[in-house]
Structure 1
Amino acid sequence: MGVSGDAGTRVRRRHMDAGRPRFEADRGERELLAGRFFDAFREGDVDGLRELLAADVQLVGDGGGKAPQLARDIVGAEDAARVLAATGAPLATIGVMMEPHEVNGQPGAIFRDRDGKVLNAVALDIFGGRIQATRAVINPDKLGHVGPVADAWALAREASRARRPRS
């Protein structure tokens, strides 16, 4: 049962005065979920991804026409899991590396090409033990402060070739 009336106001005021939220989010739990997500992404594990995503998850990217991205934002766990799996495994195959990193205050990762140049940054919105959204910064104009930027178009072509079955 919550604290009500004047006592509740005093409790909330103490937390605000101390500069901390009333309910501490479990950072370790969120980072563990993010790690599981990025492992499943890299392995192309549709079932593993689907298990971690909220039913109405959104995949959002901001290429701004300057980098390849999904034709539209993707909504829904089934479609999102398939798109993520189809993207992650080929990137790993061509040597794209993923560094766990806090992005915009959220658990996330910075992706780099085999030369260490920045491909994109991804933040995960996590709530209720599920990933509610992935937010990818793909536009090279927004990534320069992180380090030298990779040629995302060339990497997309290379990943596309890696997806095709060999004859």
Structure 2
Amino acid sequence: MASPSEKDAAATFDPLRPKLVRVAYRMLGSVADAEDVVQEAFIRWLAIDRGAVREPEGFLCRVVTRLCLDILKSARRQRETYVGPWLPEPVVEADGDEDLDDITLPLMMALERLSPLERAAFLLHDVFGVGFEEIAETIGREPAACRQLASRARTHVHAARPRFQMPRERGLEIASAFFAASRGGDLRTLQSLLADDVTVHADGGGKKPAAMEPIIGLDKVMALHARLARILAKQGSRLVRYGFINGLPGFVTIEPDNTLQTTALQLEDGKIAAIFVVRNPDKLRHLTGDTVH
């Protein structure tokens, strides 16, 4: 049974937990790591003199960011030895839920190329609206340096932002058409959905079959789907659900090798410009409950 002190701490902390998880996930690209960081922040929250904290939200955001920066130092080394393309863990939005901070999967991949401090400054300021004075206190730099960090990050991620916002319903229509054509072997329809410079990024983490390098260009992507069509003709792909995955329209499936898989589609000018597939089972463990039946 929780003590009165723990209940008091949780009463302040629990309403902030969703935002803190979002901060940590945007920093780390891992649902499990984000949840671990936020739980560690709660343990630290229990241990301090909470009455001396004037702004719990700002304080806890700083704690979470610092914990993430510590993890990023080791995570960067781990990703240097990662097998195949690395993609963030997929987050599938619940029905009726919409991500309001506009961090899509391509943007998260752009963030991955930033230094940890650049990532922290950009996310805290541009996404979560934290002032540079507070960011300076969080990451141990002067406000002017934090402003420069965020500016450099903004330049790097600008190209990853969508050119325009397509209505969500239209995005899901394209995802549905792509699923039907790719799984049904309708290569003519499939080709009509793809941009000339379409790319495929598949993350199997060395644990499930996946391309070891991004596949670039319409001809190569069509050749890939021609091969997949022959496999799928014998063993079908089972649709679990459509939805938005890291801000992009897509779907969750069970593939012929009984692999749970997410597919997210980046759309530009009404065409599919990039296909992001996650097959690494370590990155899909959190997809339970209403997401997978």
Give the equivalent residue in structure 1 for 2:254. 112
Give the equivalent residue in structure 1 for 2:204. 63
CA distance in 1, matches of 2:203, 2:165: 30
Distance 1:113 1:69, change over 3 A: closer
1:41-56 equivalent positions in 2, closer than 5 A: 41-56=182-197
Distance 1:72 1:109, change over 3 A: same
Task: Report if the CA contact (8 A) 2:198-2:218 is conserved.
Answer: yes
Task: Report if the CA contact (8 A) 1:96-1:112 is conserved.
Answer: yes
CA distance in 2, matches of 1:38, 1:141: 24
Q: CA deviation at 1:140?
A: 0.8
Under a length normalisation based on structure 2, what TM-score does the superposition of the two structures give? Answer: 0.39
**Which one has a larger percent helix, Structure 1 or Structure 2?**
2
Q: CA deviation at 1:88?
A: 4.3
Distance 1:53 1:69, change over 3 A: same
Distance 1:111 1:80, change over 3 A: same
Match of 2:266 among 125, 147, 153: 125
- Tell me how many residue pairs correspond in the alignment: 128
1:18-29 equivalent positions in 2, closer than 5 A: 25-29=166-170
Task: Report if the CA contact (8 A) 1:55-1:77 is conserved.
Answer: yes
Which sections of structure 1, spanning at least 5 residues, go unmatched?
A: 1-18, 149-167
Distance 1:39 1:143, change over 3 A: same
Structure 1 counterpart SS, 2:166:
coil
Task: Give the greater-gyration-radius structure (CA).
Answer: 2
Under a length normalisation based on structure 1, what TM-score does the superposition of the two structures give? Answer: 0.66
Distance 1:47 1:95, change over 3 A: closer
Give the equivalent residue in structure 1 for 2:10. none
Q: CA deviation at 1:132?
A: 0.5
CA distance in 2, matches of 1:144, 1:26: 30
1:101 aligns with 2:204: no
Task: Report if the CA contact (8 A) 1:112-1:119 is conserved.
Answer: yes
Task: Report if the CA contact (8 A) 1:46-1:81 is conserved.
Answer: yes
**Larger relative contact order (CA 8 Å, sep ≥ 6):** 1
Distance 1:92 1:119, change over 3 A: farther
Give the equivalent residue in structure 2 for 1:38. 179
Which sections of structure 2, spanning at least 5 residues, go unmatched?
A: 1-99, 103-163
Task: Report if the CA contact (8 A) 1:118-1:146 is conserved.
Answer: no
Letter in 2 for 1:90: I
Instruction: Give aligned-pair identity as a percent.
Output: 35
Deviating beyond 6 angstroms after TM superposition, the runs of 4 or more aligned structure 1 residues are none
Task: Report if the CA contact (8 A) 1:42-1:85 is conserved.
Answer: no
Q: CA deviation at 1:147?
A: 3.6
Distance 1:105 1:79, change over 3 A: same
CA distance in 1, matches of 2:211, 2:172: 26
